[in-house]
Amino acid sequence: MTQLADPIQDPAIGPAPVSHLQQPSRKTLQGLCWAALSVLIFAGWFVVTRFSVTRELRLWDVTALRFGIGAVILFPVLLRGSGRMSAKQWGEGLLYACLWGMPFVLAVALGLQLTSAGRAAAVAPTLMPVFVGLFAWVFLKEQQGRGRLLGYLAIVIGLICMIAGGASAHGVANPVGLLALITAAAMWAVYTLLFRRSALTPVQAAALICFWSAVLFLPVYLFAGLSRLDLASPGEIGLQAFYQGVLMSGVAIVSFNRSVALLGPSAATAIIALIPAVAALTAIPVLGELPSWEEGVALLAVVGGVLLAARPKRKVAVPSTTTTARQQP
């Protein structure tokens, strides 16, 4: 029997493509970086929004600044692609705007108004990966694996404990507000699954979401007299304009879409469930909101669930025909 040569060292085949072997890990690292940027911006959004809506501005003003400025900044993207984007793609953008645009923001805003910043940051981002896994399993027949199922279970248990622990310190949460936040999480999950199969780039999707949301919301905002911008200070308006219009409508949407494309929807959205922990830590120095010890323990359970749910699926290596042939005596 002829001695088998090392497939990596065999001169007949040449060295193994190192870049190809390293591509999955580099891709995963890039996806984690984009997801981490999304977490930081989304977590700060709850704190920054709560900071202003407890003063002069209202949630209507925040929504107008978010999509109005975002539409202006990203509109050149639509102009450059207007000759190539079809009517179907514009309609796809309208669907995305209904799922993760103005209706999503208003649902979260209602939850913020009826509950609190901490609870809103806990419910919507935490349940979103659970809905992604559920919808992918029911409608797409995707098996999630035991590790992810345990992660989803830990997230739900941690969320329940978080709400129960907050009730002892801050009172029972408003059920309508909780329902609005759960609805927002489900809408976000549907958008995430649909975008994975989209032909739109992350920047195009962000531009279309801002454009359609501005078209749907700004006329109502202006003609109904909902603006309170004249009552706020220029510094506060500038802060909200930058955070809502630039970071949330531009950077956050693009970074989240990139993380979905690189990590897949299940892993990317599981990492997004870290938002409650980051938001709770940020709210301590900014808003003076100190979580109870029950909420702290629940946050740890959520983090543990995130780590389980974000684990990538193991792929079974299939030997190539070349390697199989070379193993013949």
For residues 266-288, average pLDDT: 76
Length of the chain: 329
For residues 44-53, average pLDDT: 80
Which 8-state DSSP code applies to residue 231? G
For residues 95-104, average pLDDT: 94
Per-residue model confidence as pLDDT tens digits over 216-254: 999 999 999 999 999 988 988 999 999 998 999 889 988
For residues 13-41, average pLDDT: 71
Split at pLDDT 50, 70, 90, the class of 111 is confident
In this prediction, residue 205 carries a pLDDT of 92
In this prediction, residue 129 carries a pLDDT of 85
For residue 94, pLDDT over 60 is answered with yes
For residues 59-66, average pLDDT: 90
- Higher per-residue confidence, 257 vs 10: 257
For residue 37, pLDDT over 70 is answered with yes
Number of H helices, E strands in the chain: 14, 0
- Higher per-residue confidence, 23 vs 89: 89
Split at pLDDT 50, 70, 90, the class of 310 is low
Per-residue 3-state assignment (H helix, E strand, C coil) for 294-325: HHHHHHHHHHHHHHHHCCCCCCCCCCCHHHHH
Q: Round to whole Å and give the CA distance between 272 and 265.
A: 10
In this prediction, residue 128 carries a pLDDT of 86
Beta strands in the chain (DSSP E): none
Per-residue model confidence as pLDDT tens digits over 74-86: 999 888 755 577 8
**Lowest mean pLDDT across 6-20, 135-149, 170-184, 309-323:** 6-20
Coil, strand, or helix at residue 172? coil
In this prediction, residue 131 carries a pLDDT of 93
Split at pLDDT 50, 70, 90, the class of 288 is low
Q: What one-letter code names the amino acid at 77? A: V
In this prediction, residue 309 carries a pLDDT of 67
**Lowest mean pLDDT across 22-36, 215-229, 263-277, 292-306:** 292-306
Q: Round to whole Å and give the CA distance between 181 and 187.
A: 10
In this prediction, residue 17 carries a pLDDT of 46
In this prediction, residue 96 carries a pLDDT of 96
What's the token pair of residue 47?
């704190």
- Higher per-residue confidence, 144 vs 102: 102
In this prediction, residue 314 carries a pLDDT of 55
In this prediction, residue 158 carries a pLDDT of 84
Split at pLDDT 50, 70, 90, the class of 320 is very low
For residue 304, pLDDT over 80 is answered with no
Nearest alpha carbon to residue 273 among 105, 106, 127, 84: 127
8 A C-beta contact, residue 34 and residue 258:
yes
**Lowest mean pLDDT across 5-9, 143-147, 158-162:** 5-9
8 A C-beta contact, residue 270 and residue 309:
yes
In this prediction, residue 3 carries a pLDDT of 46
For residue 7, pLDDT over 70 is answered with no
- Higher per-residue confidence, 274 vs 36: 36
